[in-house]
Structure 1
């Protein structure tokens, strides 16, 4: 037990140095090739790894849902991850990854689990524009070198939306409540590396009638904050006159949300700007660490009404 707690503490403390751990696995032959590519999921999202249990097929289930499994008394949906990605396994799917994402628990069948690697977020680059809509980023496993192995970090939010669209919440004026009135010239700065998450955040902010700037990584957001601050200073103003609130994800290439928040809160020029962390990385360890880096609030993805209420409270 002490060893397990030590490992949890150690992994949590990685966020203080812009590092994280990635579980690497394989799904079979990539489409049109005989290559078995590496894929990855943040270890913090993995609840457990199991030998494939008995699967109960569900009548009229979506094509990529294998059925459900009874795991420790909880009935969990099992998703055929190779089929979702388009890979062809060379053997049966013997391993199940049980994951926790944004208030939900689900399991992914995979062909093979390889290893856990410890990386810096600077080793991870955004995958947007490089083809494929189910990959948020690409990790250079062996460092930023030409011969490094590459692993594709999956956009589980997008996968879940595609496989189980009925679970996606509509964003409506009724859900988000009254519009938010910001002082003239102010806006919200948001950062998220998932195209799906960005589209949902943008729709919510538009429904709230809030001006915003959207960025794709923590590093991009940090650079934007600095440039906005410089422009404000040239006008005899401060960052607080321009940015009403920062809304950030945690997992992002180049710089994560923990580091972005720490940078903001440790800079005397910016520390009074409220920071709300909006993440699918739930759990007590993450929420406690969110508080330790100085964030003003934490909200799990994605519930439109709760997000709106959290933004209102942080602005107040």
Structure 2
């Protein structure tokens, strides 16, 4: 029991060191005899892994939805990731990954599960700058250091994009009550936002536009951190403070190069920036992740994709 608790604590403490654990799995290849490429998913998003069980296909169900399964009394939709990725499996999907994204539970059907690896986010590259597909958010480099450039490559799926393909999210963000006015920020200042998911960026961009708030959007925590440093240098040259340039920071947690926890700690640990409001907007839902948010020093946490809650969190942070 002590070893089990130690393992849980070690996994939890990864969030304080820009590291995470990723489950590797395969979806099949171009042909049935091709083992195919490795894919990955953050372990924090996996509730459990179970062998394939009978799937009930409801009337009107269309690919990539295979149907529904009953997991201990909970009815869960099953999504065929191989079909989405255009892969051919040798024996069909054999494993179900029961996952939690943005307060939603779903099962992803995969061909096989390989192993769990521990990675630093600095070894994860944005797929958008490396010819990744529409459903791949980043590429992780395994078994090598950053200088050698060798090792296996793992495609990290943009699950938020996949779920949006199946059930599009609402992107219009409105003021939550008639008594609450749209937030007002200092003239010349902006909201810095960071998210590696295309669908999340589209939601944030549309939402901030609806609220009349200017913004600068980044794809990684590192990109947003460098942008903040640049704006701080501009403010110093102009005899201003950082709040004359930046109203708040809105960040995802899982991002290539630098995660949202590290970005938040960098901001809150710097005398120039610690008074800036930071709101974390993540599909990593659950009380454990909300505790990590508090530990990192963020001013608020919103689970994707609750647009009304996000609008309220932005309003509160800017009040």
Bin for the TM-score computed over the shorter chain: over 0.9
Q: Distance in 2 between matches of 1:61 and 1:4?
A: 40
Q: Secondary structure at the residue paired with 1:98? A: strand
Q: Does 1:222 align with 2:221?
A: no
Q: Size of the alignment, in residue pairs? A: 314
Q: Distance in 1 between matches of 2:158 and 2:314?
A: 25
Matching residue of 1:69: 69
8 Å CA contact 1:176, 1:305 repeated in 2: no
8 Å CA contact 1:62, 1:164 repeated in 2: no
Q: Distance in 2 between matches of 1:33 and 1:94?
A: 16
8 Å CA contact 1:30, 1:37 repeated in 2: no
Among candidates 279, 282, 286, match of residue 282 of structure 2: 279
Q: Secondary structure at the residue paired with 2:54? A: coil
Matching residue of 1:154: 157
Q: Secondary structure at the residue paired with 2:107? A: strand
Give 1:2 deviation, angstroms.
Answer: 4.7
Give 1:163 deviation, angstroms.
Answer: 2.1
Matching residue of 1:171: 172
Structure 1 residues not aligned, in runs of 5+: none
Q: TM-score, normalised by structure 1?
A: 0.95
Give 1:270 deviation, angstroms.
Answer: 0.5
Q: Distance in 2 between matches of 1:9 and 1:283?
A: 16
Q: TM-score, normalised by structure 2?
A: 0.94
1:1-316 correspondence to structure 2 within 5 Å: 2-30=2-30, 34=34, 36-129=36-129, 130-143=131-144, 144=146, 145-165=148-168, 168-173=169-174, 178-316=181-319
Greater shift, 181-190 or 32-41, is seen at: 32-41
Give 1:3 deviation, angstroms.
Answer: 4.2
Q: Distance in 1 between matches of 2:74 and 2:2?
A: 26
Q: Distance in 2 between matches of 1:186 and 1:212?
A: 8
Give 1:4 deviation, angstroms.
Answer: 4.0
Structure 2 residues not aligned, in runs of 5+: none
8 Å CA contact 1:265, 1:271 repeated in 2: yes
